[in-house]
Amino acid sequence: MDFLNIGSGELVFLILLAILLVGPKRAVEWVQQASRFAARIRQEWLAVQRDVIREVQAIQQDTAAALRPTIQEVSRDSQAVQQEGAEAVQSLQEVAREIRAFQEQVVPLKIPQPTDDFAG
């Protein structure tokens, strides 16, 4: 243990010195006061933690409430885009059918085959 550059042996020596200087009764009172002080510090720290957690939760709720309309709008827009995409696919399929029907109606052109007439 190394607290403020004081090793455990040095800490024990300081505690024994304090007991010798102030007496055992007074040292016990000091230890009791120190433990009460530590308990109070712990209670205050826990109160600060609870306050911070409450504030963070309030901010999260406010943010969620503020974003909810935007999320709903994006969801509606997404559905509209999906519907428009489906309509576009149907239109393209209809165009493809019309092109196939037109190809079947048109007489295939006879392309003359190249000959070797130019070979000398």
Domain coverage including residue 12: 8-102
Asked if residue 13 is part of any domain, the answer here is yes
Radius of gyration of the chain (CA): 44
Q: What is the pLDDT of residue 60?
A: 93
Helices (H) and strands (E) counted in the chain, each on its own, are 2, 0
Q: Considering the entire predicted model, what is its pTM?
A: 0.46
Closest CA to 16 of 35, 8, 87: 8
The whole-number pLDDT of residue 30 equals 81
Q: How confident is the model over 44-91, as pLDDT tens digits?
A: 999 999 999 999 999 999 999 998 888 888 888 888 888 888 888 899
Looking at residue 44, its pLDDT comes to 95
1 lies in a domain?
A: no
The tokens for 99 are 């092109």
Residue 2 lies in a domain: no
Q: Domains in the chain: how many in total?
A: 1
**Within a domain: 109:** no
Residue 108: inside a domain, yes or no? Answer: no
**Mean pLDDT rounded to a whole number for the chain:** 83
Is 107 a domain residue? Answer: no
Task: Detail the DSSP E strand segments found in 12-112.
Answer: none
Residue 119 belongs to a domain: no
Residue 110: inside a domain, yes or no?
Answer: no
Tokens of 35: 């433990």
